[in-house]
Amino acid sequence: MSSPRFRDGTPLPHDYSCKGGQGNPPLRWSGTSGAKSVALVVDDNNPRTGSEVHWVVFNIDPDTTELAENDVPRGARQGMTTDGKIGYAPPCETDGSYRFTVYALNVKLNLQQGASLAKTLEDIADHTIARGRLTASTIE
């Protein structure tokens, strides 16, 4: 997994934080052959406030290998975030790291747009056949 805007282990560009207003960063991935669908989860690992999920996208077409800036792939659905909202919830905290994880799944998930966070994460975990991760060390 990669991004044209930042490398693994480097800070997330300010544009994709709550103060930047650009929405999600562009992302690229490979290694999903044999998958029936793809999911993306953005979460953080903040030692002060605990973990928070900032975005869940599922039922991405398995032939899709990139996500444009501030975009959701056609036909994909979004689940709830920790804040109970649908869509990308840009991170604000400069403590901790931000993880962009893509999952190759062996099924298309039988969930609706806005599915609960717990159910969506459970279904993703139950059907993962491969995964890749890009980690931002903090926010610029």
Instruction: Tell me whether residue 46 is in a domain.
Output: yes
Instruction: Tell me whether residue 3 is in a domain.
Output: no
pLDDT in tens, the chain (140 residues): 999 999 999 999 999 999 898 899 999 999 899 999 999 999 998 777 778 999 999 999 999 999 999 999 999 999 999 999 999 999 988 788 999 999 999 999 999 999 999 999 999 999 999 999 999 999 99
Ranges of beta strands (E only) in 10-116 are: 27-28, 37-46, 50-60, 66-67, 77-78, 97-105
Domain count, the chain: 1
Instruction: Tell me whether residue 8 is in a domain.
Output: no
DSSP-derived secondary structure letter, 13: P
Instruction: Tell me whether residue 2 is in a domain.
Output: no
- Domain range for 102: 14-136
CATH code of the domain covering residue 36? 3.90.280.10
Instruction: Tell me whether residue 47 is in a domain.
Output: yes
- Would residue 18 be called left, alpha or beta, if left means φ above 0 and alpha means ψ between -120 and 50 degrees? alpha
Instruction: Tell me whether residue 6 is in a domain.
Output: no
Instruction: Tell me whether residue 125 is in a domain.
Output: yes
CB distance 129 to 122 below 8 Å:
no
What sections of the chain are H helices per DSSP?
117-127
Tokens of 42: 């953005």
